[in-house]
Amino acid sequence: MDKKKVYNIYSDESCHLQNDNMPVMCLGYTKIEADSYIQLKEKIKVLKLRHKSATEIKWNTLSMSRIELYKDLIDFFFDNNIEFRCILIKNKQKLDHNQYNQGDINNFYYKSIYLLLNNPYTNPANNHYRMYLDIKDTRGKNSLKKIAEVFQNKHKGNSPFIYFQHIHSYENEFIQLTDLFIGAATYKARNEHLKPEASKVKLAVIDYLEKKSGYCISEGTEPWEAKFNIFDFQLKSINK
């Protein structure tokens, strides 16, 4: 019997709070083969040191002085065996949590994680996956337990998602890469790029990412797109 491949999934989220007045929510991840973690991590660290910029990469603190670093990170993603997937949840203010989520926004969060991960094209069930999520103040160990339960139930006790853990984004290069990509997708999906005061560095990152991916990052891709996958989830379709 062939041994199952093990993948590490590094997840982050943007505009996930219920009352943040943001119309778009995004959950995403970067995924690598577990055996390649050390090699890829060291390559990213070398790349950052080459730019004399060893600090954490965060969408909310982008600087035009580091634009070449961001472009090199995007090149690194497309040149290596790393995959990205996100779910763009638009018009989130229209969601009726009482009707669809038993009055609890956390239930929608668990559903969103399920939709993000449960794609037979990007995460086939014949592999194993370990998921690492950026720590958020609003959730803890109970959320990880709940997410694991959801997958065990859906897969009748044989979930391919075998491990869930919270980690700090500043400790992990791949969560930082996820943050960069979902930050770009969310920024454009909110039409922030159209405003006169739009950030020049963020516009440059979005433009470069779209050129490299071949996609408009505020729209969905084909479900079977493996390298750079976006699930455009329109809440209006379930609020009829």
CATH of the domain at 62: 3.30.420.10
Q: Which domain holds residue 190?
A: 6-238
What pTM does this model have?
0.90
Number of domains in the chain: 1
Give per-residue pLDDT as tens, 35-89.
999 999 999 999 999 999 989 999 999 999 999 999 999 999 999 999 999 999 9
> Is residue 1 situated within a structural domain?
no
Average pLDDT, integer, range 165-194: 95
- Least confident window among 28-37, 47-56, 141-150, 186-195: 141-150
| Six-digit token string for 190 | 């909110």
For 170, the enclosing helix (H) or strand (E) is none
> Is residue 105 situated within a structural domain?
yes
Residue with tokens 């996609």: 215
Give per-residue pLDDT as tens, 162-173.
999 999 999 999
3-state secondary structure of 27: strand
Decide if 31 contacts 83 (C-beta within 8 A).
yes
